Structure 1
Amino acid sequence: MTDDFTATLPRKRMGAGVLLTDDHGRVLLVEPTYKPDFEIPGGSVEAGESPYAAVVRELDEELGLRLRPGRLLVVDWVPPRPDRTEGLMMVFDGGVLTRSQAERIRLPADELRAWAWCTEQEAGERLSRLLARRVAAAVRARADGVVAYLENGFFVA
């Protein structure tokens, strides 16, 4: 019988989000009930769940939208800090929401207060600095047709 050595390897927190925009290029942000800053739709990747499956699930749970996101835009390694473990965050391209899709958005009242379309400047004011950097990188990655690798929200490769 062989032991699975991978069970002894370090574990990392993982999150997945989605970049959704309107036809004016504004980014969709959500306002959580449990923290002061806005977020992009998404959340924690559960055990045994792929990051892509997590985004699909979160879009349904958070916005009531059944969408299939497109390609990966950003991978961001976030270092540990006193109140949080290190993590790996991914952002997928959710595309451009039509007006009729946006009208179907339904928020879980216990989790989200509101949602809003935001310009890059408005997003920078509503998001944490780290997430603002990640969202700006996702917008650029979408426009350039690349995947951006970040560390703590800063471009590495």
Structure 2
Amino acid sequence: MNGKVVSCGTVLLDPAGRVLLAHATGTNHWDIPKGHGEPGETEAESAVREMVEETGIALDSSRLKDLGRYVYRRDKDLHLFAARALANELDLSHCVCTSWFPRREDGVMIPEMDAWRWIAPDEVGQFASRSLTRLFETTLSLVLLHRTL
């Protein structure tokens, strides 16, 4: 192990090849549902749990395609999975975040994610963090993933 934190997440694509991004509350960036594993969890279990906590979408792990581990930042790697959204998962008005944390300024509990949207591959850079945008632009092509998923 290289000492880096590993965050597990899911790249969920709709039938048109758009990726699901969630808005991180209190920030100006959007991200894929992802997070750190809990003791005893496999990477796939962590990715499934994070998806449920951050969106309310419950994916069966059998739907996940293991994309492997990616260098993300100096201090963090991502272990990513991909899945194709089903018809009943496309309406993001049903999304809900059950993962809450205390807001830095006043300690008030707020949801980790507060909005969700489908983003076309060529729009990711307008929404996502630099690290996620770089990953999708250089290492993990959403267009190619859409063709092979």
Range into which the TM-score falls when normalised by the shorter chain: 0.7 to 0.9
Give yes or no for the alignment of 1:41 onto 2:33. yes
Q: Give, in whole Å, the separation in 2 of the partners of 1:128 and 1:34.
A: 14
Seen in structure 2, the aligned counterparts of structure 1 residues 30 and 79 have a Cα distance that, compared at 3 Å, is closer
Give yes or no for the alignment of 1:139 onto 2:142. yes
1:74 is displaced (CA, Å) by: 4.3
What residue identity is the alignment partner of 2:86?
Answer: L
User: Given the alignment, which residue of 92, 95, 113 partners 1:105?
Assistant: 95
Please tell me whether the aligned partners of residues 20 and 28 of structure 1 are also in contact (alpha carbons under 8 angstroms): yes
User: TM-score scaled by structure 2?
Assistant: 0.74
Seen in structure 2, the aligned counterparts of structure 1 residues 131 and 143 have a Cα distance that, compared at 3 Å, is same
The residue aligned with 2:80 is: 91
Q: Pairwise CA RMSD of aligned residues? A: 2.4
1:12 is displaced (CA, Å) by: 2.5
Max radius of gyration: which structure?
A: 1
Seen in structure 2, the aligned counterparts of structure 1 residues 144 and 117 have a Cα distance that, compared at 3 Å, is closer
1:77 is displaced (CA, Å) by: 2.1
Please tell me whether the aligned partners of residues 19 and 135 of structure 1 are also in contact (alpha carbons under 8 angstroms): no
Please show how residues 50-129 of structure 1 align to structure 2 within 5 Å: 50-68=42-60, 69-80=63-74, 86-98=75-87, 100-103=88-91, 104-108=94-98, 110-129=111-130
Q: Give, in whole Å, the separation in 2 of the partners of 1:34 and 1:51.
A: 27
Unmatched segments (≥5 aa) in structure 2: 99-109
Seen in structure 2, the aligned counterparts of structure 1 residues 79 and 22 have a Cα distance that, compared at 3 Å, is closer
Q: Give, in whole Å, the separation in 2 of the partners of 1:31 and 1:77.
A: 22
Q: What is the CA deviation profile of residues 70-105 of structure 1, one whole-angstrom value per residue up to 9, with x for unaligned ones?
A: 22124212453xxxxx2221110121332x223342
Q: Give, in whole Å, the separation in 1 of the partners of 2:147 and 2:17.
A: 15
| Aligned length in residues | 132
Unmatched segments (≥5 aa) in structure 1: 1-8, 81-85, 147-157
Q: Percent identity?
A: 27
Please tell me whether the aligned partners of residues 91 and 138 of structure 1 are also in contact (alpha carbons under 8 angstroms): no
